[in-house]
């Protein structure tokens, strides 16, 4: 399924449009589910985001239970408590509503209902032995692309390590992309999640596991994000750009589900595990430093990225053109108010050996375009901490 050249697998149906979340009852009615577990966080629940979804389910006579214990960088315990709720109420489908944490938690819960063991036992590729409960996803941010991927990430609270579970059973059955759910999204979250999507697209495009199909999606996502992210940041009520960002985010997710990612994700997961830093902002801040490191390994692909990000590279050498990609990302981060260093995020170097060790465990290290060893990871982290981009 993954990292096989020229193989593409994508079973998730995608529906895009204004107000589609209000039709979830109509969409799910034909399946005759007995009880649906809605997985979300307390903030979204209190903000009333779920009200149209609940109303639609009720109008179509569909029973549901809300599990709202999702947290940033969700732990294994959160998934297990959710699976207990699902079993208690006899839930036969799971609906994740929210950002990547909610959708990942929904995936974990759906898997645990059908597979015995700790969710952390399934780290890696293809460890789930039984199909999960049917998974549905309604993202409220344009960032993680989890609604179009076969993966979920959970933190081991004892070791602070973020484990990635990958299985074709984790693909949602349906993803509903409704831009109206994002109109009131804070600008800071719009920025961080948008740059998360850009990171997915760029790392997928340059990944060693990429193929022509995943690369075609990835580079188009880069272009879409360049054309729409700043507008969603500065004009949050622009529905067209919100919708385009949702589509771009999912496209990037579909791409990296085929190709894996790279050093940004290998390292940023350690920031989430050790410091509980939100994934999107960690990726955004790290991205220029990893791109700088990767330049010598894939200048032609970096040139493509520079062009997709709107840079004029005519007449430049391959390396000079590639450097324009780094320049474009730095400029976008600055426009979006993204911190320039990971020190500003709250990362300290006290845990440097731990971070290096955990990053090297990630399969994304192997997919990174440039061969990466432990001393390279340490250098990238130190450069990102001190703001050394050279």
CA-to-CA dists, residue 171 to 104, 111, 145, 147, angstroms? 10, 11, 11, 7
CA 103 and chain centroid, separation: 10
- Shared domain check, 159 and 290: no
278-329 residue pLDDT tens: 888 999 999 999 999 999 999 999 999 999 999 999 999 999 999 999 999 9
Three-state DSSP state, 177: strand
Segments forming the whole domain that contains residue 252: 187-386
138: left (phi over 0), alpha (psi -120 to 50) or beta: beta
- Shared domain check, 261 and 162: no
Please give the Cα distance from 210 to 256 (Å, whole number).
8
Please give the Cα distance from 302 to 273 (Å, whole number).
29
Joined tokens for residue 72: 């940033």
- Segment (H or E) for 269: helix 263-275
User: What was the pLDDT predicted at 273?
Assistant: 79
Backbone phi, psi, residue 340, to 5°: -85, -25
Query: How many distinct structural domains can be found in the chain?
Result: 2
What CATH number did the domain enclosing 24 receive?
Answer: 3.40.50.1970
User: What was the pLDDT predicted at 1?
Assistant: 37
Q: Is residue 128 a part of any domain in this protein?
A: yes
Which residue, 182, 203, 228, sits at the end of a domain? 182
**Mean pLDDT, rounded, for 138-147:** 94
- Shared domain check, 325 and 253: yes
**Mean pLDDT, rounded, for 253-265:** 94
**Mean pLDDT, rounded, for 10-26:** 95
Which residue, 161, 182, 203, sits at the end of a domain? 182
Please give the Cα distance from 307 to 43 (Å, whole number).
39
Length of the chain: 390
Helices (H) and strands (E) in the chain, counts: 15, 9
Q: Strands 151-156, 161-166: parallel, antiparallel or unpaired by DSSP? A: antiparallel
Q: Is residue 112 a part of any domain in this protein?
A: yes
Backbone phi, psi, residue 118, to 5°: -80, 140
Which residue, 182, 197, 229, sits at the end of a domain? 182
Q: What angle do CA 198, 334, 178 make, to 5 degrees?
A: 40
- Shared domain check, 42 and 153: yes
Minimal CA–CA distance to 91: which of 45, 43, 132, 152?
132
Minimal CA–CA distance to 33: which of 101, 100, 145, 110?
110
CB 359 within 8 A of CB 267: yes
| pLDDT at 4 > cutoff 90 | no
- Shared domain check, 292 and 208: yes
pLDDT band for 163, please (50, 70, 90 cuts).
confident
- Exposure of 80 by Cβ count < 10 A (0-12 exposed, 13-18 middle, 19+ buried)? middle
CB 254 within 8 A of CB 202: no
- pTM of the predicted model, to two decimals? 0.93
């Amino acid at each position: 399924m993954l990292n096989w050249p020229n193989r593409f697998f994508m079973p998730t149906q995608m529906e895009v449009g204004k107000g589609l979340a209000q039709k979830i009852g109509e969409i799910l009615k034909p399946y005759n589910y007995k009880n649906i577990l809605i997985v979300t966080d307390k903030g979204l629940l209190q903000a009333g985001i779920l009200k149209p979804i609940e109303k639609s389910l009720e109008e179509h006579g569909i029973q549901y239970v809300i599990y709202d214990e999702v947290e940033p960088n969700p732990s294994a315990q959160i998934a297990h408590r959710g699976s207990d709720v699902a079993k208690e109420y006899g839930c036969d489908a799971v609906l994740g509503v929210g950002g990547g944490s909610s959708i990942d938690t929904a995936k974990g819960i759906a898997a645990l209902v059908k597979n015995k063991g700790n969710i952390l036992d399934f780290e890696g590729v293809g460890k789930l032995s039984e199909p999960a409960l049917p998974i549905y996803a309604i993202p409220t941010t344009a960032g993680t692309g989890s609604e179009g991927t076969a993966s979920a990430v959970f933190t081991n609270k004892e070791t602070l390590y973020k484990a990635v579970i990958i299985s074709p059973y984790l693909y949602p059955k349906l993803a509903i992309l409704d831009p109206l759910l994002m109109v009131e999204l804070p600008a800071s979250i719009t920025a961080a999640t948008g740059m998360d999507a850009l990171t997915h697209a760029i790392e997928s495009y340059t990944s060693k596991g990429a193929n022509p199909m995943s690369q075609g999606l990835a580079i188009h996502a880069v272009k879409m994000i360049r054309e729409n992210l700043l507008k969603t940041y500065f004009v949050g009520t622009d529905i067209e750009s919100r919708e385009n960002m949702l589509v771009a985010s999912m496209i990037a997710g579909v791409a990296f589900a085929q190709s894996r990612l790279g050093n940004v994700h290998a390292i940023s997961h350690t920031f989430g595990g050790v410091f509980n830093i939100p994934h999107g902002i960690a990726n955004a801040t790290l991205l220029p430093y990893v791109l700088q490191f990767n330049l010598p390994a894939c200048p032609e692909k970096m040139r493509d990225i520079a062009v997709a990000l709107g840079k004029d590279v005519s007449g430049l050498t391959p390396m000079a053109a590639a450097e324009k990609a780094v320049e474009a990302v730095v400029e976008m981060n600055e426009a979006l108010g993204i911190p320039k260093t990971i020190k500003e995020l709250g990362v300290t170097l006290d845990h440097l050996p731990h971070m290096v060790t955990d990053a090297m465990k990630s399969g994304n290290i192997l997919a990174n375009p440039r061969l990466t060893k432990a001393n390279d990871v340490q250098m990238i982290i130190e450069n990102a901490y001190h703001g050394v981009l050279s």
